[in-house]
Structure 1
């Protein structure tokens, strides 16, 4: 039993221990690692580095970016799922590398709902449906009619099996009620090259890499697969405007940690992310990549979005029988 005399003797020691305890539990007190499941140089890499630069300023700690591509994003995702649950290893998740890969890869060593703790949503890069200018279709209706009568079938290019471009092409085929051939490439660049050359008729992708080719006339934009028009392609009508409300697709980005990461650390990361997204310079840089910023009010809101988007694309993947070999 601690009497008054002992309590007075212990008081200085307790007082000295409080700053040490506070320092020991401060987060973050060392660099945070962001894993990007793509090679350096692409849109995912740019978005990840812009976000972490801003978060580092707000958290007072550096971020180390690690590009870990391979297996459609599975390798990078797995590395985060298996990392310590302490908030010091996080993932830049995306529509293709995180969500769609989990639906089409034959063996995925994690569950995107059970094994990851959502931190926050970054934003969407709505996909644009484009064709080679020699294709006699300027609207979604004309493209549908052409797809239905084309012999051999129209072909659509994608950056690879299980990418957002792949499943959007499959969704077009389902909505058009027409057979279409999928031609996968190793990245967006080679896919664009073959569509520009006329070897493949259709390409769907985020707007940023397509925009210069649309402006130069090498690609014709048929529609934006979104509810509203893009600010930097205001002349391109949406799929919704053209009577195809189910044809919606975007390349989205968000941050995740392993499930079991302490809630207060997830909250701290979420707050730093949203503060970064509110910065004018960050907004401008992401808009240059075609990203429409859409911060999530809470980590749970981002989690609900993932569940809803997964359910929507699961239906498309099942109907189109998409599987990565």
Structure 2
């Protein structure tokens, strides 16, 4: 089954874009799919951030946490480092700042390479030991460290990991069983990366988003949270589809779409006006090239 996707396949083949799997669902029905290597669970990298966002929406609904809560409310570390007087301490960062990635770091903490080499096992303490370079809440800088701190805040507030919190509330209702999600040395769900899913499972998540949090006639996550998370909350300065703005752990796209995405080409693209979800798993540095192929070859086939 790949007749509808022939143009997309031809384009990515001609441009040597290494796409493992693509699935297009419209009006809740499978339009076409292509899995030359089979569809199996692969690490979703920063697509994981969008799942962490769902945990925030649930915890806010349950009154466990608020968007104006600060890191200092949960991590009252005594800092030995002196902060520039014109900028707040990281203790003043709000959950909303972290969701929008407006924490105020020029060099965001806890990138993958830093996480791998970090001697400090308490990653939250490390994050909060670093001074801010500018006032938070004003400028977007993509930061996996911000998302890790969201996960850490939630774990402190809820008393369990984000993974365990989401299992009965999201993963099991969506039929995603035996979930694997990497953790920090102290057992905090990574949040920013490390979630393993198949492309079909990623498509299921996209359909749940398209339905504004409903699944099998049950409202799993508040619709107003889905709408807030998937609309532009802050401007971004990137090129192409990275310059369309950012929500709460979701990227805005051209063509009135939004997406969860991860390094090397994991995408969960939702086009509400087309009632369509496009999920892609790849191992490709040229992520904009994949999105261009989506807009040029898949968008025209959608009714």
Shorter-chain TM-score above 0.5: no
The structure with the largest helix share of the pair is: 1
The structure with the largest strand share of the pair is: 1
Q: TM-score, normalised by structure 1?
A: 0.27
